[in-house]
Chain A
Amino acid sequence: MTDLGASAESLLATANEVFAGTRHDSHVQQLQDRFHEPLRVAIAGKVKAGKSTLLNALVGSAVAATDATECTRVVTWYQDGHVYRFDIESKAGRKTPGIFRDVDGQVSVDLGDHDPDDVSRIIVTWPSQALRQTTLIDSPGIGSLSSEVSERTLDFLTSAEDNTPADAVIYLMRHLHSQDVQLLQAFHDVDAAQPSPINAIAVLSRADEVGAGRPDAMESAAKVAGRLAKDPSIRRLAQTVIPVAGLLAETAATLTQSEFNDLSRLAELPVANLQRLLLSADSFSGTPIEVEVSSDTRAELFGRFGVFGLHVATEALRERRALTTASLAEELLQISGLTNLRTLLDTLFVGRARVLKSRSALQGLVSLVGDSEGIDVKDLAAQLERVLASDHSIAELRVLSEIRTGRIVAKQTVLDEMEQLIGAQGDGFSDRLGLARGASNEQLRSTAIESAERWRRLVENPLSSPSLVAAGSTIVRSCEGMVLAVESSS
């Protein structure tokens, strides 16, 4: 099978020649640059949805300001680099280095005398494992701050200039709100041709608040998320909705040894006492207790963990599920839902980055070709059309995301075979067809033909669900592609 990435790359090169010296010259350059950069994942949501908190949790450092400072009013890009630095890019495209400010251990950026309205974006360079494969984009909250800020985010998400500025999006919501739907829609309008989103997931942020901080808060949140994911208006816009307790995730990602020590001492308190303490922030910090954790420390802990975080952290220590700082951090990341989010990001976005980026590049080219009066793009258009018509990896990616997010109604064995055939268990033909490595071409060919027939039968079965029929047609095409590839190689 031809590699979509290679096709996209060669098309970009062709486009570079075709558009050289035209008004689209720089646009093609941007598309090309972007193709070689890490995947761009935007974090979007309404004001106070917990975007910066989640970003910190994902990066593992408190890089993003969580208060409504300038950063949360301007689009901020977080990318990997060797040194800490940040640049302010003006609307005219001019970059000026900026200065970090460190206030009480919280890093923030100072725009100096830049007018926020003239700033196009802030680029934060931050050495981080998490940013090596993805560039995270923090967008200003939509909603109450000011309509201007909201507009800036909408502009950013739906910008026609660069087509899709992000390859994928994580959308944060606290509960279902019409503005959420609108925003998600805005993001997806750029890809109206495909109603099932392959590049968006929604996060029910501040999930611990769903259950008012009770220890079972995450279970309640999971239920709410499940309901949201089934809501038709969300379903068409995001692959899935997962609950994340943002504050706990951020804290867990940056957990310190002294916090571990303090929590261990608190965990020695009788459960009933601790629960009484946790009724309010004041009672937690103000009530005299038998263990040696000062009132100020307790107040800090309360701010860092929240009621829910303190409940689950002390419980984990008391039940000796976590014996070290690292294992507690891991436990808390797990509980907070961040581990789950990271896994999903890896499988749905990072693991398929090349396809997603190719898709972005091809979309960018389609829009350039569509706006090409006075430029001869006929050959390029035909090549582009051929690449899009021949490509099957985007369709397979779509099916994979549909399987992983439970959108396809079918038996588990059917879903398993589907995953295998589209290469989720290994991309080689023998892996896809469930044959031993080194199977002969004839074996591969006949097995692929058999699979195609079996899936065609399934697609035609009146009992198959509509979702299965659509996905099954993709599987048939996958098998047909393998037959062709085997035949042309032998």
Chain B
Amino acid sequence: MTYALGIDFGTAFTAAAVLQNGIAETVNLGNQRAAIPSVVLIREDSTVLTGEAAQRRAITEPTRVVREFKRRLGDPTPILIGGSPYSAEALTSRLVTAVLTEVRQRYGGNPSHIAVSYPANWGPYKTDLLKQALQMAGITGATLITEPQAAAISYAEAERLEPGETIAVYDLGGGTFDTAVLRKTEDGFEILGQPIGIERLGGMDLDAAVLGHVMSSLGDSLADLDEDDPATLAGFARLRQECTAAREALSSDTEVDIPVVLPGAVSEVRLTRSELESMIRPPLADTVNALHQALDSAGVTPDDLRAVLLVGGASRTPLVAQLVGSELGRPVAVDADPKHAIALGAAHTAAAATSTKPATVSEAVTPATATEVPAVAPQPSKPAAAPVTLAPANPATPTPRPSPHPASQADSGTWISQNRSLVGLGAFVLLGLVVAGFLATRGGDDTTDTETAVAVPTAASVPVAPSAPGDSTDTDAATTTGVRLPVRATVDAGSVFAVDKTNPVIGTDLVATLDPPEYASIRQVEGRVIGFIDVVNTSNIQYYDFASFQTTNPERDRNEVWAELAPEAWRNISPTVPDSFEALGLEGRDPVAGISFDAADIYCQYALKRLPTELEWELAARDGSIDVTTVQNWVAFPEEYSDTPAGVAVLRGSFGIEALSVFYRTFGDSPTNRQNAGLRCAADDVVEVPRPTGELLYAREFSGADELHDWPDLHDPNTPDVAYGYHAPDVFHVEVRGSLAVAVGSGQVQADNTTLSADVELRLPDEPNGGFRYGLVANAGPTGYLGLLVQDASVEADGRELRWCVVQRSNPLITATVVGGQSLLENGPCELEGVVSTDATRNTLTVTLTGGNATFSVAGQAVGSVPAQYQADASFGFIAENLDPSILSHVHFDNLTLVSS
């Protein structure tokens, strides 16, 4: 299949587009964005990295990286890397080669023709040099077209322009600004007057303004930053990315919070769009002036313009269109894809030129022939020649993992219900043989924005398969070489890897070191989710609730339990007064700190989860899913890692001041409380609870203390005997000390044809308690309500029995959202009752109102029905009542749902 290729070689970014079968599309050159940074890095062994790979490595090899070399084109003074001279043309040719390699691989074979864009103010000298650079990349006879012309051609594909009509192109790119006026001719566009450029004005400058805002907001806390500290550098590099992301986000959002994680400064800085706009207004005013100048030199007034075409990534900023539009009083056309308009236009140009003027791409790209650049050695191997033959992916091979347990919801290690406070951990199961490669995943889940580049572990750390490189049909090797990889790892050139289960390369020295620009193995990499991890650290309130609950174990001394579990600082606070940690100046939402490995382990079991493995933690940390600098996290016993002393537990991450972030790793005795040590839990799977069909009238899935206000309100200042709140891991907790608590949710539903359900859970599984019962309230209104109640009637620990009971109560029991203090016993008998068996502590209760009946089910079993008079504007909710007013009832609710059937 033939295709035509357009390349937009920019100061900051390089993009490509192809036209195939009459359809133009941009080429995804990078993993994260379609355009790759115009960056080249030449390593000591003369290996050349380009684009994202070069960008990534820049922080560790800063002296070997070159960026913005487009500005240097034409300067006879060469660029020095490690003392060796490189011309800007040579570097350009390396970048173009990388683009071409990528495109060839995706589209198969060479393009029929290539067009490359260049700045409109370049003269014969620089365009000649550009041609030389292309020749060095093996391209001869390419069509060169100016950037504004390419943008205009792309625009003309969507909008019909008549010959003679003029447009202005306003190109605000990553590093430069250019503007020009063009007139449509019979077969293209001609530039009128002088194109005007501003050399150092682009997205980067706007980002710098955002960074300035953050820095000035943080003020003195940044005074002592150590310029040589790797953690500081990494934190700052990340902050710069956050600033770019924030600036881009403000194109659609009106405000954004920029996370700052630096040693000594962990915080968030808010930036509103209007603040951003006031910062960038002066430079943008310059661009509008330049546009005026270009118009003047073209002898064109704004009124003569059909439109002003905005291209370049930074022109998405809403203020740009606003300023340009209001200054010129002309319609502003923002290209649908402003970042790639030039590449797309170049692709169209290439396609148009295909028939008349074929460009040739030589088979062997030989950059070594670039005589000006003696130091660039030819690369050791090229994709065609390299033994990068991979065994076909075998779906049966991936590392086995525990199967999900949807039926057995309480199994440890299985997370119940979809919960947004968890994040999926991406890992990659790689099959086959790889030669020296940094692999990047493509395809798969395009919606995730995480770092998806993977590589294979060092040869030293992996058993070598018996197969030789190139022995691609050795399926035996393939079937034993499933490997889970962290986001980045290293591999030695030429090595064959074969590892099963988990990758043992974990720890402080794990830094990617190899990125040949070829991406041959891409399609053999299969991304999959290997588990889930809490996004946020376990909070004080969660941990308090847990530790407090553990002290109620009748078999152990309350104080002893508290002493074991509570952080040092908590020793003197009461385990029975909720939120008493607040007296210590601690916030409920903040991460708990100062606990032991053993306590963390128990907590996760209690939360029906488990501690994350170190691999899981590292995966999440590296792709930025979790904050790793607030408190350190205990991770599961490090069975897989040989470098850990026996009986010693591992702590990962850092805490504020030291902030060594992802790479920090330390040890601790498992029973000992450790200052700054906190935790987060993980789980193998997420089980989605199927939703009832029908229109969802009300759905509350409790997932954090923040959501209390969304739930039916039990709070009544006059009934201090009722307490409610958040309970770890994520349920709505209700306690009744008096006799009865009823909460009803928001009302105004027609009760007919509705199904109400909720998960309810009794948290004292080992203590059969006939003293209280709990359940759902439905059809609540002026004439009373229906209640489906259950009561633990188990006599043995395994195999539980729930005694259930349906009550119909009349007014005035529910007069408000809260009723307390009424004695159940005075309110008549059950309408229906019986017993169901279940093996779970957590069960779903359902009340369906339809056809003049109320039908009830417990744990999926229908238990009976009663005739019911439906009320209009009915409310619904839940109930807990004590049969013995001297006891404390304690029950949890979740997933309160009302569906109209």
Q: Mark B187-229, 1 if CB is under 8 A from A, else 0.
A: 0000000101111110011001001100000000000010100
Q: Is A432 an interface residue (CB 8 A)?
A: no
Interface size class of B (residues with CB under 8 A): 35 or more
Q: Is A289 an interface residue (CB 8 A)?
A: no
| Binding stretch for chain B, among A52-60, A255-263, A477-485 | A477-485
Determine which of B125, B237, B293 lies in contact with A389 in the assembled complex, contact meaning CB atoms within 8 Å.
B125
Contact at A462–B74, with CB atoms within 8 Å? no
Determine the distance from Cα of A479 to Cα of B126 in the docked complex, in whole angstroms.
23
Determine which of A193, A370, A456, A463 lies in contact with B197 in the assembled complex, contact meaning CB atoms within 8 Å.
A193
- Known interface pairs A456-B62, A457-B63, A480-B80; A189-B293 also in contact (CB < 8 Å): yes
Residues of A within 8 A of B286 (CB): 192, 195, 236
Q: Name 30 interchain pairs, CB-CB below 8 A, sorted by A.
A: A192-B290, A193-B198, A193-B199, A194-B200, A195-B201, A195-B283, A236-B286, A370-B297, A381-B125, A383-B125, A385-B123, A385-B124, A389-B74, A449-B80, A449-B83, A457-B63, A460-B59, A460-B62, A460-B65, A462-B59, A462-B236, A462-B237, A462-B240, A463-B225, A463-B232, A466-B211, A466-B212, A477-B72, A480-B79, A484-B85
- Known interface pairs A192-B196, A232-B282, A457-B63; A389-B236 also in contact (CB < 8 Å): no
Q: Is B165 an interface residue (CB 8 A)?
A: no
Beyond the given pairs A195-B200, A484-B77, 9 more chain A to chain B contacts, judged by CB atoms under 8 angstroms and listed by A's residue number, are A192-B290, A194-B198, A194-B200, A385-B122, A386-B76, A456-B63, A460-B62, A460-B63, A480-B78
Q: Which of A434-490 contact B (CB under 8 A)?
A: 449, 452-453, 456-457, 459-463, 466, 470, 473, 477, 479-481, 483-484
Which residue of the partner chain A has the closest CB to B199?
A193
Which residue of the partner chain B has the closest CB to A464?
B227
Which residue of the partner chain A has the closest CB to B212?
A466
Determine the distance from Cα of A189 to Cα of B232 in the docked complex, in whole angstroms.
41
Residues of B within 8 A of A479 (CB): 80
Contact at A461–B233, with CB atoms within 8 Å? yes
Q: Is A174 an interface residue (CB 8 A)?
A: no
Residues of B within 8 A of A381 (CB): 123-125
The 3 closest A-B pairs by CB, nearest first: A389-B74, A460-B62, A466-B208
Q: Is A272 an interface residue (CB 8 A)?
A: no
Q: How far is the CB of B276 from chain A (nearest CB, A)?
A: 14
Determine the distance from Cα of A383 to Cα of B123 in the docked complex, in whole angstroms.
10
Which residue of the partner chain B has the closest CB to A388?
B74
Q: Which of B274-309 contact A (CB under 8 A)?
A: 282-283, 285-286, 289-290, 293, 297
Contact at B227–A463, with CB atoms within 8 Å? yes
Instruction: List the interface of chain B (C-beta within 8 A of A).
Output: 58-59, 62-63, 65, 68, 72-80, 82-83, 85, 122-126, 128, 194, 196-201, 204-205, 208, 211-212, 225, 227, 232-233, 236-237, 239-240, 282-283, 285-286, 289-290, 293, 297
Q: How far is the CB of B323 from chain A (nearest CB, A)?
A: 14
Q: Is A382 an interface residue (CB 8 A)?
A: yes
Contact at A462–B233, with CB atoms within 8 Å? yes
Residues of B within 8 A of A367 (CB): 194
- Known interface pairs A462-B236, A462-B237; A483-B282 also in contact (CB < 8 Å): no
Contact at A185–B77, with CB atoms within 8 Å? no
Determine which of A236, A370, A382 lies in contact with B283 in the assembled complex, contact meaning CB atoms within 8 Å.
A236
- Known interface pairs A192-B289, A473-B68; A385-B62 also in contact (CB < 8 Å): no
Q: How far is the CB of B711 from chain A (nearest CB, A)?
A: 45
- Known interface pairs A192-B290, A389-B73, A484-B77; A236-B282 also in contact (CB < 8 Å): yes
Determine the distance from Cα of A392 to Cα of B290 in the docked complex, in whole angstroms.
24
Q: Mark A359-393, 1 if CB is under 8 A from B, else 0.
A: 00000000100100000001001111110011010
Residues of A within 8 A of B283 (CB): 195, 236
Contact at A370–B78, with CB atoms within 8 Å? no
Contact at B289–A392, with CB atoms within 8 Å? no
Q: How far is the CB of A380 from chain B (nearest CB, A)?
A: 10
Residues of B within 8 A of A480 (CB): 77-80
Which residue of the partner chain B has the closest CB to A384?
B123
Q: How far is the CB of A211 from chain B (nearest CB, A)?
A: 29
Residues of B within 8 A of A383 (CB): 125
Q: Is A334 an interface residue (CB 8 A)?
A: no
Please tell me the number of chain A residues within 8 Å of chain B, measured between CB atoms: 40
Q: Is A405 an interface residue (CB 8 A)?
A: no
Contact at B80–A483, with CB atoms within 8 Å? yes
Which residue of the partner chain A has the closest CB to B287?
A192
Contact at A392–B77, with CB atoms within 8 Å? yes
Determine the distance from Cα of A481 to Cα of B125 in the docked complex, in whole angstroms.
20
Question: DSSP majority for the A interface?
Answer: helix
Q: Is A233 an interface residue (CB 8 A)?
A: yes
Q: How far is the CB of A373 from chain B (nearest CB, A)?
A: 12
Residues of B within 8 A of A189 (CB): 289, 293
Determine which of A192, A385, A462 lies in contact with B126 in the assembled complex, contact meaning CB atoms within 8 Å.
A385
Contact at B125–A382, with CB atoms within 8 Å? yes
Q: How far is the CB of A347 from chain B (nearest CB, A)?
A: 23
Determine the distance from Cα of A189 to Cα of B179 in the docked complex, in whole angstroms.
14
Determine the distance from Cα of A370 to Cα of B294 in the docked complex, in whole angstroms.
12
Instruction: Select the residue from A236, A382, A481 with max chain B CB neighbours within 10 A.
Output: A382
Determine the distance from Cα of A460 to Cα of B59 in the docked complex, in whole angstroms.
7
Residues of B within 8 A of A461 (CB): 62, 227, 233
Instruction: Select the residue from B125, B199, B290 with max chain A CB neighbours within 10 A.
Output: B125
Contact at A370–B194, with CB atoms within 8 Å? yes
Residues of A within 8 A of B82 (CB): 453
Which residue of the partner chain A has the closest CB to B228?
A461
Determine the distance from Cα of A481 to Cα of B208 in the docked complex, in whole angstroms.
28
Residues of A within 8 A of B58 (CB): 460
Residues of A within 8 A of B73 (CB): 389
Q: How far is the CB of A122 from chain B (nearest CB, A)?
A: 29
Determine the distance from Cα of A386 to Cα of B125 in the docked complex, in whole angstroms.
7
Q: Which of A287-326 contact B (CB under 8 A)?
A: none
Residues of B within 8 A of A473 (CB): 68
Contact at A382–B233, with CB atoms within 8 Å? no
Determine the distance from Cα of A462 to Cα of B286 in the docked complex, in whole angstroms.
27
Determine the distance from Cα of A192 to Cα of B198 in the docked complex, in whole angstroms.
6
Determine the distance from Cα of A314 to Cα of B237 in the docked complex, in whole angstroms.
58
Q: How far is the CB of A471 from chain B (nearest CB, A)?
A: 11
Determine the distance from Cα of A410 to Cα of B73 in the docked complex, in whole angstroms.
29
Q: How far is the CB of B40 from chain A (nearest CB, A)?
A: 13
Determine the distance from Cα of A479 to Cα of B225 in the docked complex, in whole angstroms.
28
Contact at A192–B293, with CB atoms within 8 Å? yes
- Known interface pairs A192-B198, A382-B123, A386-B125; A484-B211 also in contact (CB < 8 Å): no
Determine the distance from Cα of A481 to Cα of B85 in the docked complex, in whole angstroms.
11
Q: Mark A333-352, 1 if CB is under 8 A from B, else 0.
A: 00000000000000000000
Determine the distance from Cα of A382 to Cα of B74 in the docked complex, in whole angstroms.
10
Determine the distance from Cα of A392 to Cα of B77 in the docked complex, in whole angstroms.
10
Which residue of the partner chain A has the closest CB to B229?
A463
Contact at A382–B124, with CB atoms within 8 Å? yes
Determine the distance from Cα of A390 to Cα of B73 in the docked complex, in whole angstroms.
9
Contact at B77–A481, with CB atoms within 8 Å? yes
Which residue of the partner chain B has the closest CB to A450?
B83
Residues of B within 8 A of A193 (CB): 196-199
Which residue of the partner chain B has the closest CB to A478?
B77
Q: How far is the CB of A2 from chain B (nearest CB, A)?
A: 9
Q: Mark A382-421, 1 if CB is under 8 A from B, else 0.
A: 1111100110100000000000000000000000000000
Contact at B59–A195, with CB atoms within 8 Å? no
Contact at A466–B78, with CB atoms within 8 Å? no
Contact at A389–B75, with CB atoms within 8 Å? yes
Residues of A within 8 A of B194 (CB): 367, 370
Q: How far is the CB of B896 from chain A (nearest CB, A)?
A: 48
Q: How far is the CB of A330 from chain B (nearest CB, A)?
A: 39
Which residue of the partner chain A has the closest CB to B282?
A232
Residues of A within 8 A of B282 (CB): 232-233, 236
Determine the distance from Cα of A457 to Cα of B205 in the docked complex, in whole angstroms.
20
Contact at A194–B80, with CB atoms within 8 Å? no
Determine the distance from Cα of A433 to Cα of B227 in the docked complex, in whole angstroms.
24
Residues of B within 8 A of A389 (CB): 73-75, 125-126
Residues of B within 8 A of A382 (CB): 123-125, 128
Determine the distance from Cα of A452 to Cα of B85 in the docked complex, in whole angstroms.
12
Determine the distance from Cα of A349 to Cα of B336 in the docked complex, in whole angstroms.
47
